[in-house]
Structure 1
């Protein structure tokens, strides 16, 4: 489709050209299995080691290691299920929030069926978990606290540093952070914030699909989700996708190095769009500061979000409704309900997410398209 502006970077990002080239180059040259003992296998294994070292260097992690998975969903599942099953002798209690990604919430629901007890913390109307609520939920049986860094629907930034400081007084409680929407977009001090496990996804930061990252602090054990080999320190069986891993490690480097300039640019675009939404009576903003620089979420209560998305697409604007993993679900957004939105507002959320390529002219075009859509839909309000 020609002349389209893509505002769905939270769902997936266009890969860096250098990343795409790297996949092809490594695929053609280093196709041997990195677990093989021959020279070609050793060379492939060295590429994995260099990729881990690159992640450790750029993300300043010296006291832990990085595992490669198939994506953010697997990283979250391995971090949560793997850790609580491994340390079940410590307790059977998990603390998380009501606005986590489905890959976290569904994992904890499965663990509840195994006998674990899960506390789902509420969030404030602004969309943030309260540190005092985390403290109140902790017990001697709490084996894991899992809180996302940036919410994937409304962009609220959670107080990860403060939660990590709190958990220093609970050495037997592990701290997992879903950083899929913040890795490469916001600064993260993994070791300084006391994070034990951290999940990331390559295709959210202009890497390739099918590659996830999982930081595991030194000394932490995980029960594997799958059996079949000693790959990834025995924690994740399966032959590693060397070409995509090498390319995605490069994407992490490019993304991290570009954080200051990108965050400044996208914050300006975010604020311009939010200022416009605040002037439109039909629309309501979701989430308040602190916010990630690249996400804006608003509702048009009473209107079906898929109608708005398709009308915007007809005008060359690509937007989304919520997490791509849940966008085909017709139910009201669970996240918007958690922050106190009405059922009508929660059922009509629209998410705009920015990337490197966007300019103020692109936002102006989005605003014009929204104006056109609202004018066309407004006469239908009373009949919906």
Structure 2
């Protein structure tokens, strides 16, 4: 099987899985318990937190373990806006965010906040001029993802930050689920206030992620209970998941430069191949993360292509796993104003650091065969 759906989820790294099993076997105590075993387990939890803080160059007290990207994004949107609402209730959200941001932002309207959407250009890049016009003194929060999960477009976060800092006291949240471990992500240099990371996108385990804040930034909880995670995320913390997340993050940072070069080479090869078909339009922009390639076959449904490819043991997806089972058109593609001829036939190839040239070569053979069968050539 050729698995090219890594933006939906990745295969668990053997070392990460081994870490998870070992911690479950040896440190199963509740880290909040006051007995010695509980203290030992908590020390392991804090060690994982400190390792992640060192990677992100923030304080360990500002790393909060969650169930994954969706919870982390919700915590950021609701928690930051509520904590700093005295600054204002105006919120800026890009049109191409993940549903966990989009739907949370819609709920913010019901809670009395004014949500304004940042448009994008035809390549799916946010319009900075629009940000300049929309930012206000009472803007409390701006949320823009680092790498789009459907197209791979890299957003101009540093330029965005410069605009926001000059014109307001708004906080900036960055969803880095599709960028961390794929391209350099410097939390401090990008000058954002919070960052979301999901473990299963970097060969970690599902059900695990984190929200990290810059030092001195505070946040309101959205879950209440026993006061775990410094009172920000109540619920017994899964130490095995936390430790394995730290492991996955460390592994993803090893030789990141050479991994990115390899991914870029595979991506360039695939794009050159796809552009050889007159009826295919590459949706992904030039400035994109190397692991995501979005393209469309003219006047064809993506589901038809996915089914045909998986019959040949090739796994790809439509625009996003979070919306691929729904029949409605992707909000990202709509925001990019993709034409009717192409908007239904979008496929996403998403590679990982374990993808190979051999897989790419085999994909090209299978894809050409499938196109010939479907088009009757």
TM range (shorter): over 0.9
Instruction: Give the match's secondary structure for 1:233.
Output: coil
The question of whether the paired residues in 1 share the 8 Å contact of 2:49 and 2:60 is answered with: no
Deviation at 1:167, TM superposition (A): 2.4
Select which of 148, 151, 155 maps to 1:154. 151
Is residue 31 of structure 2 the alignment partner of residue 44 of structure 1? no
Select which of 301, 313, 317 maps to 2:314. 317
TM-score (ref. length: structure 2): 0.97
- 1:262 is aligned to 259
Is residue 366 of structure 2 the alignment partner of residue 372 of structure 1? no
Deviation at 1:183, TM superposition (A): 1.0
- Which shows bigger deviation, 175-184 or 340-349? 340-349
Deviation at 1:22, TM superposition (A): 0.8
Measured on the aligned residues, the alpha-carbon RMSD in Å equals 1.4
Deviation at 1:189, TM superposition (A): 1.6
Select which of 217, 236, 239 maps to 1:239. 236
Is residue 168 of structure 2 the alignment partner of residue 166 of structure 1? no
Is residue 352 of structure 2 the alignment partner of residue 355 of structure 1? yes
Aligned partners of 1:379, 1:91: CA distance in 2, in Å?
59
TM-score (ref. length: structure 1): 0.95
Aligned partners of 2:56, 2:366: CA distance in 1, in Å?
39
Instruction: Give the match's secondary structure for 2:342.
Output: helix
Is residue 203 of structure 2 the alignment partner of residue 206 of structure 1? yes
Instruction: Give the match's secondary structure for 2:260.
Output: helix
- 1:308 is aligned to 305
Is residue 91 of structure 2 the alignment partner of residue 82 of structure 1? no
The question of whether the paired residues in 2 share the 8 Å contact of 1:76 and 1:178 is answered with: yes
Deviation at 1:60, TM superposition (A): 2.6
Is residue 10 of structure 2 the alignment partner of residue 13 of structure 1? yes
Aligned partners of 1:175, 1:193: CA distance in 2, in Å?
10
Partner deviation per Cα, 1:241-270 (whole Å, 9 max, x = no partner): 111110110010000123111110010011
Is residue 287 of structure 2 the alignment partner of residue 290 of structure 1? yes
- 1:138 is aligned to 135
The question of whether the paired residues in 2 share the 8 Å contact of 1:142 and 1:173 is answered with: yes
Deviation at 1:379, TM superposition (A): 4.2
Deviation at 1:220, TM superposition (A): 2.0
Gapped runs of 5+ residues in structure 1?
Answer: none
Select which of 60, 65, 69 maps to 2:66. 69
Pair 1:343–1:329, CA change in 2 (3 A): farther
- 1:327 is aligned to 324
